């Protein structure tokens, strides 16, 4: 069912909490399951993500994917963080059951939303970053729960 890594990140989540005065913060939800994920970024002058924290109100897989996503983007540049897809998060967790794939999408979208907020605050454009959606469930409408 769940890999050891998923269980580890669920029972012992990394980087849980919030950052005061973050460089960027992004919140996304899935109206279908009701889960919500928020990611905070602290980006330095060189564009490197120094700190990344999360708050997730959701299922165990959502907690595990947020935890892994924050680990993956920490220390990365903006461009590198943009490449942290839900696939990358799932691979790092040794996979997720098919009905839980949408939880990892929440993590990808929350990172993008936080980067979008950072870009807006700085008045810059991040190449390749599209305006994030607040609700991701329309993308996986055919998925069964």
Q: Which residues are catalytic?
A: 33, 103
> Which residue in the set 13, 24, 58, 132 belongs to the binding site for ligand FES (CB under 6 A)?
58
> Which residue in the set 9, 15, 19, 30 belongs to the binding site for ligand FES (CB under 6 A)?
30
The CB-nearest residue to ligand FES is 33
Regarding 101 and contact with ligand FES (CB under 6 A), the answer is no
Listed residue (12, 15, 10) closest to 103, CA to CA: 10
Regarding 15 and contact with ligand FES (CB under 6 A), the answer is no
Least Cβ distance, residue 30 to ligand FES (angstroms):
5
Regarding 33 and contact with ligand FES (CB under 6 A), the answer is yes
Least Cβ distance, residue 103 to ligand FES (angstroms):
3
Q: Between 110 and 114, whose beta carbon lies closer to ligand FES?
A: 110
Question: What is the total count of residues that contact ligand FES (CB under 6 A)?
Answer: 11
Q: What is the rounded distance in angstroms from the CA atom of residue 114 to the CA atom of residue 116?
A: 5
> What are all long-range contacts of 96-102, with beta carbons under 8 Å and residues at least 24 apart?
96/2, 96/6, 96/61, 96/65, 97/1, 97/2, 97/61, 99/143, 99/144, 99/145, 100/59, 100/61, 101/140, 101/143, 102/30, 102/33, 102/136, 102/137, 102/140, 102/143
Contact residues toward ligand FES (CB under 6 A) are 30, 33, 35, 58-59, 61-62, 100, 102-103, 106
């Amino acid at each position: 069912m769940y890999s050891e890594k998923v269980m580890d990140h669920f029972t012992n989540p990394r980087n849980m909490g919030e950052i005061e005065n973050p460089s960027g913060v992004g919140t996304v939800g899935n109206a279908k399951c009701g889960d919500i994920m928020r990611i905070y970024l602290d980006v330095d002058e060189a564009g490197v993500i120094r700190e990344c924290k999360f708050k997730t109100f959701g299922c165990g897989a959502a907690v595990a994917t947020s935890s892994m996503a924050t680990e993956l983007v920490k220390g990365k540049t903006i461009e590198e963080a943009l490449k942290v897809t839900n696939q990358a998060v799932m691979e790092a967790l040794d996979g997720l059951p098919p009905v839980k794939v949408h939880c990892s999408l929440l993590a990808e979208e929350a990172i993008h939303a936080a980067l979008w907020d950072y870009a807006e605050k700085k008045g810059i454009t991040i190449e390749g970053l599209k305006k994030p959606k607040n609700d991701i469930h329309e993308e996986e409408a055919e998925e069964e729960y």
